[in-house]
């Protein structure tokens, strides 16, 4: 493909046309979101450089702009210039920078384009700075003046306007559930097997990532089969079922709140006891941890990952698995938002060890695992896709080193990036959700009655 | 800006190979995208059945069809759709059919 530059990119034009009041607005939003604890972070980086080798961007491009400390400093320089005494009086002394078009351009390029908000730099920071939060806050400032890169912004917009992030019409979602229900019935040989929709008073409300019904429904079938085997009381919802929340990535807390509140509405409407989040890393982090903050309210129901539910089934003997049905060597990818930032670490390991014969850990793993490169909205921001694939080399090498034939990935966003890495780096692996692997190992007893 | 060249005409794509303007699509474009993006050397009748359905659906509704509809209309099993387009319905079939990149985790 050729490169040409005669037509200006509309997003770049938007930056060119920023007015003084736009810049002021962004600064104001930035200031409002920096509480004292975070303001202290801006003054605390000791420039030790340990974060550099923790970042998959820096490890693959060795570019100073990819260093977490550099990215932090881009945001810190602005904070100091406008909101600290020394920065206002003698900015040059402390690296305080003026907020102008060229800094905005650099913020977009580095804070959106060279970061997946994976949190690995924060984990490796020698003084414990939450670099990830600060970068997201700078994204919030850019979001307030309409500078979220296209693709990421359009995914937020689609979710806000259409009720789910792929714009699936209501009847198409319902028809897909009915279709998958028929498939389940024929698979388990029981015409009473159900994928219930809007079943009021069910114990669990199960959410999905729109990517599943739209293009990759096998993960839904797998969960339906597990629920069937466990004899669970559960339901889908025909409205407000989307587990994703791209507001987490764009930095737009208001939009994020609207999306998470939809699941709260479904819980209320259905009267379920537990909100169960699909295998979706950022959806888990958003709805388990961040949403009560965005909405300023305490949830009066339980929020769990489907992995916690399935681990309980195994523990309680509610499902029976035959590991010999999954004979290929399997490795596990730890999605950042589910594991490092979400706290779901051992459940998936416990499940897999009961569902297959050869389990191989990646190195490093658990909370120290590397990002796949697809998080932080990178999959949606096409303009940075070459960089995303290059940064994914760290993950590709990790996978190759295990020699595994299957990668279990409890996150649909990671799965899409892993599929691209598989193709680009010729890994020759299959990529599955944890529940798909469990479903393949299920031993289903014939029902006396349903 | 990025381009592919088909029959001497330059056609703009995004960084992931999706067409910028779906009107630029032609059968020759599909053949090239299938080869370069999907590694499919020759499009079979079955490939075309999927491509034509997706494309016509999009022209009518301004939306990519759900995979259920693709299966139902073509009569193909889900597994076979993934075999025809190894990158899946979004980055494979929809891209070859000239649709813009869908929103969401793709």
- Per the structure, how many domains does chain B have? 1
Query: At which residue do the structure tokens 């670099």 appear?
Result: A131
For A164-223, write each residue's pLDDT tens digit: 999 999 999 999 999 999 999 999 999 999 999 999 999 999 999 999 999 999 999 999
Interface of B with A (CB under 8 A): 1-5, 10, 13-16, 18, 63-64, 66-69, 72, 78, 86-91, 101-106
Interface pTM (ipTM) of the complex? 0.95
Which residues does A125 contact at the CB level (< 8 Å), separation at least 6? A50, A51, A68, A131
Nearest residue in B to A412, CA atom? B105
Q: Nearest-CA distance from B48 to chain A in Å?
A: 18
- Is B89 within 8 Å of B67 (Cβ atoms)? yes
Distance CA A365, CA A372 (A): 12
pLDDT at A1: 47
Is A214–B16 a contact, with Cβ atoms under 8 angstroms apart? Answer: no
Chain B residues close to A379, C-beta within 8 Å: 105-106
Residue A8 pLDDT level (bands cut at 50, 70, 90): confident
Is B89–A165 a contact, with Cβ atoms under 8 angstroms apart? Answer: no
Judge whether B42 lies within some domain. Answer: yes
- Is A273 within 8 Å of A235 (Cβ atoms)? no
- Is B30 within 8 Å of B105 (Cβ atoms)? no
Tell me the pLDDT of chain B (106 aa) as tens digits: 899 999 999 999 999 999 999 999 999 999 999 999 899 999 999 999 999 999 999 999 999 999 999 999 999 999 999 999 999 999 999 999 999 999 999 9
Q: Residue A141 has which token pair?
A: 């400032």
CA distances from B6 to A370, B2, B26, B34, B51 (A): 40, 13, 9, 13, 18
Average pLDDT, chain A: 96
Which residues does A329 contact at the CB level (< 8 Å), separation at least 6? A358, A359, A360, A402, A403, A404, A405, A406
Is A176–B66 a contact, with Cβ atoms under 8 angstroms apart? Answer: yes
For A87-120, write each residue's pLDDT tens digit: 999 999 988 999 999 999 999 999 999 999 999 9
The reply to whether B105 belongs to the active site is yes
- Taking only residues 147 to 166 of chain A, the set having a beta carbon closer than 8 angstroms to any beta carbon of chain B reads 151, 154-155, 158, 165-166
Strands of the sheet with A204-206, listed across from one edge: A234-235, A204-206, A274-277, A302-305
Q: Residue A212 has which token pair?
A: 């599943």
Total CB pairs under 8 A between chain A and B? 97
- Is A387 within 8 Å of A149 (Cβ atoms)? no
Q: Is pTM, for the whole model, over 0.90?
A: yes
Q: In which domain, by residue range, is B73 found?
A: 2-96
Q: Nearest-CA distance from A238 to chain B in Å?
A: 16
**Closest listed residue to residue B65, CA positions, set B39, B90, B101:** B90
Judge whether B56 lies within some domain. Answer: yes
* H-run or E-run covering A432: strand A430-432
Q: What domains can you pick out in chain A, each with its CATH number? A: 10-147 (1.10.1060), 158-316 (no CATH), 323-441 (3.40.50)
> For residue B72, what is the domain's CATH number?
1.10.10.370
For A46-91, write each residue's pLDDT tens digit: 999 999 999 999 999 999 999 999 999 999 999 999 999 999 999 9
- CA-CA-CA-CA torsion for A108, A110, A116, A121, nearest 10 degrees? -140
CA distances from B11 to A212, A298, B26, B55 (A): 31, 52, 11, 18
């Amino acid at each position: 493909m050729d490169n040409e530059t005669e037509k200006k990119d509309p997003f770049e034009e938007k930056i060119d046309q920023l007015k003084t009041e736009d810049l002021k607005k962004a600064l104001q939003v930035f200031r409002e979101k920096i509480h004292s604890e975070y303001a202290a972070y801006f003054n605390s980086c000791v420039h030790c450089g340990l974060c550099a080798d923790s970042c998959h961007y820096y490890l693959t491009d060795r570019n100073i702009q990819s260093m977490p400390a550099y990215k932090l400093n881009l945001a810190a320089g602005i904070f100091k210039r406008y909101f600290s005494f020394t920065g206002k009086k003698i900015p040059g002394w402390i690296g305080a920078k003026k907020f102008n078009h060229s800094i905005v351009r650099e913020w977009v390029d580095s804070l959106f384009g060279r970061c997946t908000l994976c949190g690995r730099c924060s984990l490796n920071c020698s003084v414990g700075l939450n670099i990830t939060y600060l970068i997201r806050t700078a994204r919030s400032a850019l979001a307030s003046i309409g500078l979220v890169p296209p693709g990421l912004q359009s995914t937020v917009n689609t979710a806000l306007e259409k009720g789910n992030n792929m714009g699936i019409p209501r009847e198409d979602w319902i028809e897909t559930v009915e279709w998958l229900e028929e498939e389940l019935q024929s698979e388990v040989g029981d015409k009473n097997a159900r994928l219930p929709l809007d079943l009021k008073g069910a114990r669990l409300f199960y959410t999905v990532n729109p990517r599943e019904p739209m293009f990759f429904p096998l993960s839904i079938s797998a969960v339906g089969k597990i629920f069937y085997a466990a004899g669970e009381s559960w339901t889908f919802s025909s409205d407000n079922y989307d587990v994703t929340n791209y507001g987490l990535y764009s930095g737009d807390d208001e939009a994020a709140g609207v999306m998470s509140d939809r699941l709260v509405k479904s819980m209320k409407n259905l009267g379920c006891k537990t909100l169960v989040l699909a295998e979706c890393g950022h959806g888990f982090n958003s709805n388990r941890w961040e949403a009560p903050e965005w909405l300023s309210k305490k949830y009066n129901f339980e929020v769990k990952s489907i992995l916690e539910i399935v681990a309980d089934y195994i523990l309680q003997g509610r499902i029976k698995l035959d590991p010999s049905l999954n004979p290929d060597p399997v490795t596990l990818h730890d999605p950042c938002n589910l594991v490092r930032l979400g706290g779901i670490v051992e459940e998936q390991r416990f499940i897999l060890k009961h569902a297959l014969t050869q389990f191989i850990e990646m190195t490093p793993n658990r909370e120290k695992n590397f990002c796949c490169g697809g998080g932080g909205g990178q999959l949606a921001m096409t303009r940075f896709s070459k960089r995303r694939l290059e940064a994914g080399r760290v993950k590709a090498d990790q996978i190759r080193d295990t020699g595994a034939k299957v990668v279990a990935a409890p996150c649909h966003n990671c799965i899409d990036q892993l599929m691209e890495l598989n193709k680009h780096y010729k890994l020759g692996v299959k990529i599955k959700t944890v529940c798909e692997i469990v479903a393949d190992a299920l031993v289903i007893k014939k029902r006396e009655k349903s | 800006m990025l381009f592919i060249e088909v029959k001497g005409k330059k056609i703009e794509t995004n960084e992931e190979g999706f067409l910028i303007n779906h009107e630029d699509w032609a059968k020759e474009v599909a053949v090239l995208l299938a080869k370069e993006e999907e590694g499919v050397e020759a499009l079979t009748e079955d490939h075309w059945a999927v491509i034509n359905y997706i494309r016509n659906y999009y022209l009518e509704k301004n939306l990519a069809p759900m995979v259920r509809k693709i299966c139902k209309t073509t009569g193909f099993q889900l597994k076979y759709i993934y075999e025809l387009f190894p990158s899946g319905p979004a980055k494979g079939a929809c891209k070859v059919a000239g649709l813009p990149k869908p929103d969401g985790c793709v």
